Amino acid sequence: MSFLSKRLMSTIKMKPTPSKAHHHYPLPSSSFPEGFVLGGIHAGVKKKAGVPDLAVILSTSERPTTAAACFTRNAFKAAPVIVSNEVLKKNGGYARAVVVNSGCANAVTGKQGMDDAWAMVQATDGLLSKSYKSSEFEHETLVMSTGVIGQNLPISKIVAGIKSQSAATLGSDFAAWERAAQAFMTTDTFPKLRSRTFTIGGVEYRMAGMDKGAGMIHPDMGPAGTTFSAPKQLHATLLGCIMTDAAVSPKSLQSALTYAVDRSFNSISVDGDMSTNDSIYVLANGAAAKDGAVIDEDTDKQGYEVFKKELTDFAADLAKLVVRDGEGATKFVTVTVKGAPSYKDAHNIASRISTSALVKTALYGEDANWGRILAATGSVPLLPSASTGATPVIDPKKVNVTFVPSDGTAALPVLVNGEPEKVDEVRAKEILTLEDFEVLVELGMEGDGEGEAQYWTCDFSYRVALRSVL
C-alpha cells in the first residue's frame, strides 16, 4: 500500500474488517479421497522464507485418472492456461498431476513463459512412479501459477523444488492437504480447504479441494477453447483444484464441472475484474470405485446427476470462501433472483446487482437503499425466448425486493408488487449490520421453470475503493 493511501485511510473512520481465520479449521484425514499424495513447500518464489509457494498433487491410483478444467476467457491467457489446455486436449481428458506456484503469475511473459510452464510440467511428470504413469501420454501434469503479471518465474528454483519432492515425501493426511492449500495463497488471509463424503450406488466416495482468491475476483470461466459468447464485463484471479476418488468418464467429468463452475465460481464477485490465469481443475482417479464402475451421463444418468450435484455444491462451498476472504470486505451477501424467464436471465441480473458499486457501497454503509438494487436489475437486457423469439419485459408491478437476515429472524420486505413498503429503518439497520444476509429479488415472470440463480458478493469498503485508485 502506498504512503498516500495510508495517509488517506488514516483520515477516514473505517469499520474494522472482521477476522476470517475461523473459516479455516482441521478436517478429518478420513474425509480426503484415496489415491492422492500432495504437499506444499517454500521454493523461493516468494521472498519471505518458509512461506509455501509451490504445491504438488499426484494421483497414485492404479486406475486411469480423468481430468477436466474450466479456464479464463481472457484474451491474454497465461502460459499455464495454454499449456494445461494442450495437455488435456492431447490426452483426451486424462492427467495424473497438478503443480502450482504462487508469487508469480507467469502471464504475458512470451516464449520464456511458455518454456517455463513446460519445464514445470516435465519436472512434475518425473515424480510419477512407473507403476502408475501411463505409457500412452507424453505429459500427465497440469500447471497453475498466480501472482504478479508480466514477470518471469525463477524457474530454476521452482524446478529444483519440484525435484526435491516424491510420492514418498508427499502426504495424504490433513497436514499435507493444508500445506498444499497454503502454497496456493497470495493475498488470502487463510488457506481455503474443504472435504466431503458422498454415496452413489451404495459406494462411498470422497471429494476434497482447495482454492485461492481475495482480490480481483469476478471469474467467468468455461471449458477449454471457449470465448465470450456476448460482450461481458471483465472479471479476475482465482485458482482451484478438486480431487475425488470416484471414477468418472472424461466427457462426463467436463460436463459436470462446466455446470458446477457456472453455479459456483462464475457466481461470485468481490471487486469485478478478470484474470489471465483463472483456472479450476478436477481430477477423478477411481481409487474408491468398485468392480470397474465408471460414472457416465450416457450409461448411468442417475449416478451422474448425483455426482454433478455433489460437485456443484462442493464447488459452491469453495467459491464462497473466496468471497468471505474478499479484500476489505465486511459483509457476505447472497443475491438471489427468482421468477426470471430463464436461468441465464436470473444469473445475469444477480451478477449485475453483485457488481454494482452503488449497491455494494450502500451495503457497506448499512443503508437499505433498495432503489439501487432495482436500478441494477432493470439495466440488464433479457434474452429472447427460446420458444417464441420474443424478448420478455419485466413488469415493475410484479417485482418484490426483500432483505433476509441470516440469524433466522423475520425478513424485511421493502418492495411488494412494485409498491414501496414503509421501511422500518431500525429493523433494516439490524439486518444490514449482520455479517451475512440475503438480498432477494422476485420478478414474477413466466419462463422455462429454471429462472432462479444466486450470486455471492461482498460490500465495497473504503479499503477496496482506495486500493482501486491508488
Residue pair 338/435 in contact (Cβ under 8 Å)? The answer is no
Residue (of 219, 195, 199) closest to 209 by Cα position: 195
Which strands form 141-148's sheet, in the order they lie side by side? 36-41, 54-59, 97-104, 141-148
CB 276 within 8 A of CB 107: yes
Q: How far apart are CA 382 and CA 53, in angstroms?
A: 44
464 contacts: CB under 8 Å, gap ≥ 6: 270, 271, 326, 327, 328, 329
**247 neighbors 295 (Cβ within 8 angstroms):** yes
Dihedral (CA of 446, 449, 450, 455) sign: positive
SS3 97: strand
Strands annotated E in 192-292: 192-200, 203-212, 221-222, 239-244, 268-269, 279-284
Active-site annotation holds for 336: no
Could you give the 3-state DSSP secondary structure of residue 237?
coil
Q: Which of 141, 146, 186, 237 is catalytic?
A: 237
- Scan for cell 457501497, then name that residue: 361
Do 459 and 17 touch, CB atoms closer than 8 A? no
3-state SS class at 373: helix
Q: How many CA atoms lie within 13 A of 436 on its CB side?
A: 10
The rounded Cα 439 to chain-centroid distance in angstroms is 21
* Cα separation values, 12 from 8, 330, 358, 380, Å: 7, 16, 19, 34
Q: Cite the active site residues.
A: 237
